Amino acid sequence: MAPAHRCSRIIGTGAALPERAVTNAELAQQLAARGIETSDEWIVARTGIRQRYIADASLTTTELGARAARAALQAAGLEPAALDLIVLATSTADQIFPSTACLVQDELGVAGAAAFDVQAVCSGFVYGLAVADAMIRTGTYRRALVVGAEIFSRILDWNDRTTCVLFGDGAGAVVLEAADQPGILAARLHADGSQSRILCTAGRVAQGAVHGDPFLRMDGQAVFRLAVNVLDSSAREVLDDARMRLDEVDWLIPHQANVRILSATARKLGMPESKLIVTVDQHGNTSAASVPLALDLAVRDGRIRSGQNVLLQGVGGGFTWGSVLVRL
């Protein structure tokens, strides 16, 4: 067996979005045709969302994931054949099986690397990053692709104003490489299955038909209360693990669910909102794609620079949550 590496580091980021951006005004017009009243003002006041990207009928989660993967590989200066591990986080897989990770591997035109999906809903990318880092630390793997890819628009009830205005589609990715200097500084993952019903899509396929409710359902107030508390506690856990002070964190990227949750999390941690990366206004809630989409945007626009410390956080259905502290 190869010698264990002490750590891994992110060497490239990438993102992909559907072509069509749907503004709140456009969405409100579409919902009005269904007899559902909403407005740009109502959505912005409650969520901070101004637009989201919606996939057309021909676009797949696999294709979005592969686009983000290619962008991350290009940023890393690598060809797909350099990968020996692919971890893909999604709740909206194109098929029951094989995994979307395997389908993305095929889209990239390579074979042989281990490939599997992680299902932790909106915490999925953080879970996937922690898993890939742990596998690299064993010394068995050297370069990993971690992708978060979602088409949530296909599991939304467009007659439910409390959920359909929140979500969008997209994908983000990073390439991890074994390194002697710290990159992934600390990671903590958690779940509480007793809270599964506050955010779920409970339907299932059996005997060729969908049984149960196939749409996303959410208790928004319960999610808000739980999300802020667990994001605060898991942030403090990884900082303790890394022996780092809160004021040493340069940027905070929580799951982009709702601007109120983002602001409340920063406030509870005592971090200035100037250190908060916010993309929910542009993308809506893209579930497992939200953290890598925000990371890629802030890397490419120059806010996040080499050597800075970034706290990545996920929270979502399961109920799942976790934090990964990264030095870029």
> Which pLDDT belongs to residue 6?
75
Q: How many CA atoms lie within 13 A of 140 on its CB side?
A: 8
Catalytic residues: 122, 255, 285
Q: Where are the domains of the chain?
A: 7-179, 184-327
In CATH terms, the superfamily for domain 184-327 is Thiolase/Chalcone synthase (3.40.47.10)
Mean pLDDT (the chain) is: 96
> Which pLDDT belongs to residue 181?
87
Indicate whether 119 pLDDT > 80.
yes
Mean pLDDT of 202-225: 96
Mean pLDDT of 226-255: 97
Neighbouring C-beta atoms of residue 304, cutoff 10 Å: 22
Q: Model confidence over 83-114: pLDDT tens digits?
A: 999 999 999 999 999 999 999 999 999 999 99
Mean pLDDT of 230-252: 97
> Which pLDDT belongs to residue 4?
53
Mean pLDDT of 67-79: 98
Q: Give yes or no on whether 7-179 and 184-327 have one common fold.
A: yes
> Which pLDDT belongs to residue 22?
98
> Which pLDDT belongs to residue 293?
98
**Topology given in CATH for the domain delimited by 7-179:** Peroxisomal Thiolase; Chain A, domain 1 (3.40.47)
Indicate whether 2 pLDDT > 80.
no
Q: Model confidence over 148-200: pLDDT tens digits?
A: 999 999 999 999 999 999 999 999 999 999 999 889 999 999 999 999 999 99
Whole-model pTM over 0.85: yes
